[in-house]
Structure 1
């Protein structure tokens, strides 16, 4: 039977974690899915350790990313998108654990509320998986273009594995394969800016494993590859929002503030150039950028003084 949902999972040398992830997928209370496991050129024994699962459950497929897609998460996910048979798409990582009602709950929200996607919450863990809670979906808020600022600033965290998408969201959109960090943030921003609307629910349906070898862990440890990719993703978002006339002053100021920590990439100058600002607009941004450290210092001082 044609699957309703396609799960896309890129994997790279995670033989020590991936079995637990696949078993949590097998326990889904909604069963009409396929799971495309895209190997990104790993060198460990991942295929060997998951072979028993592949033999018993044909809903899982283990595939090698072809060289026509760039190495990395974006290329592997794009390959999965091009193969997907389901009408709905979801991305899972190879080191996490999925709530048994994940697919059932997300699909019910998308179909019953007639929206393009459902965003749910995640919970981090290190060793012991938190207990699962089984609740009916509780709508938190709508998500659309008017929420772009909160999405871009991560106030609303559309993480890579916390959204069930209608496949139509990816008809003309793919991940930027040159990015090695923030690729989902950049891609999902394009989807929202295109006008697709969804709902966010309060339910925790995903459990992400914290460890230093994850992309996120490497980014917060100032890995230069991840940091450079984040600066490139910011510029791509600026280009997209500028084209769609959605680049607001508040979003621009947020990116300029980030640029303080990316001086080695000349991010501030690149943002100003990419945004195609007027002469007066450039002066305003330069003034904001120049005096921002002073403002941040005074804010920090005031906070300590009255705490």
Structure 2
């Protein structure tokens, strides 16, 4: 286990001001047997200059421009990095975030003591734009054991915390490049279908909050929430076409209904707003509009 190679994948795009912090946090890891693959998705700043200097400093770090054979976007870059990797375990870090020094040292031994586990995660803490820790910790201890049903309802993992076995990727496939939002949620669902997770109670990584966070694109508008969740469900059912049992499909449908009921309760107060959402969905797809209307009647 001490000699197990960990491949760390970092997609990057125009983050010259932050990528150095991310890589410094990896270079000081107490677990030293790793390789780091940085995949540039078309940066127009001086990311390349910074990366060439860092690669000279530490030979374990490699820098690539994403091949045109892989779709543009963060998941295309992650898939390119995975295909370039050689590790027994795969981890991810975003280009504007960073790890704490003992992250891998705490995670990797879990795989030996719990051979059934496919993914090991932990808690995150938010930092400000300057990287100063805020004390706001997001616990992920609920991601422990078989959490497929929980992940059907809500994304409960960050992207930068989990480490997964390479055999997991061999079984569930690469990231879905049709997603630019909630692309990690789509993937963790697939992993959770087959494998139990192990959640450490420690803060393992820090997420930087700044004006250019991709997460700021996410909207609470009811229709957009519906469209994204429905897209996630369709993708999951397509992936599971030859995997899911009848009971699996019934569970997915049950949780989907529960999710839409929450959407109606929290974001559509009053009959008028509910009818407005149903009408928008009906205009998008009349079958989906009818199905959502039936959900609202039950609600």
TM-score range, shorter chain: 0.7 to 0.9
Between the aligned partners of 2:286 and 2:84, the Cα distance in structure 1 is 36
Q: Contact between 2:6 and 2:91, CA under 8 Å: does it hold in 1?
A: yes
**Residues 272-293 of structure 1 deviation map (CA, whole Å, 9 limit, x = unaligned):** 76xxxxxxxx87x64332464x
Task: Please report how far the alpha carbon of residue 266 of structure 1 lies from its aligned counterpart in structure 2 after TM superposition.
Answer: 2.8
Q: Contact between 2:226 and 2:260, CA under 8 Å: does it hold in 1?
A: no
Counterpart position of 1:74:
75
Between the aligned partners of 2:279 and 2:74, the Cα distance in structure 1 is 25
Between the aligned partners of 1:229 and 1:120, the Cα distance in structure 2 is 26
Structure 1 stretches of 5 or more lacking a match? 133-138, 274-281, 293-307
Q: Contact between 2:126 and 2:134, CA under 8 Å: does it hold in 1?
A: no
Query: Out of 142, 145, 155, which is 2:144 matched to?
Result: 142
Q: 1:230 to 1:252 in 2, by over 3 A?
A: closer
Counterparts of 1:81-92 in structure 2, within 5 Å, are 81-92=82-93
Q: Contact between 1:218 and 1:226, CA under 8 Å: does it hold in 2?
A: no
Q: 1:237 to 1:140 in 2, by over 3 A?
A: closer
**Residues 125-168 of structure 1 deviation map (CA, whole Å, 9 limit, x = unaligned):** 11343399xxxxxx877322xx22222333x7222212110110
Task: Please report how far the alpha carbon of residue 103 of structure 1 lies from its aligned counterpart in structure 2 after TM superposition.
Answer: 0.9
Once superposed, what is the RMSD of the aligned Cα atoms? Answer: 3.3
Task: Please report how far the alpha carbon of residue 7 of structure 1 lies from its aligned counterpart in structure 2 after TM superposition.
Answer: 0.1
Counterpart position of 2:119:
117
Task: Please report how far the alpha carbon of residue 244 of structure 1 lies from its aligned counterpart in structure 2 after TM superposition.
Answer: 1.0
Between the aligned partners of 1:13 and 1:240, the Cα distance in structure 2 is 32
Task: Please report how far the alpha carbon of residue 219 of structure 1 lies from its aligned counterpart in structure 2 after TM superposition.
Answer: 1.2
Between the aligned partners of 2:144 and 2:187, the Cα distance in structure 1 is 19
Q: Normalised by the size of structure 1, how large is the TM-score?
A: 0.77
Q: Contact between 1:235 and 1:271, CA under 8 Å: does it hold in 2?
A: no
Count of residue pairs brought into register by the alignment = 272
Structure 2 stretches of 5 or more lacking a match? 136-140, 268-276
Counterpart position of 1:296:
none
Counterpart position of 1:303:
none
Q: Secondary structure at the match of 1:16?
A: coil
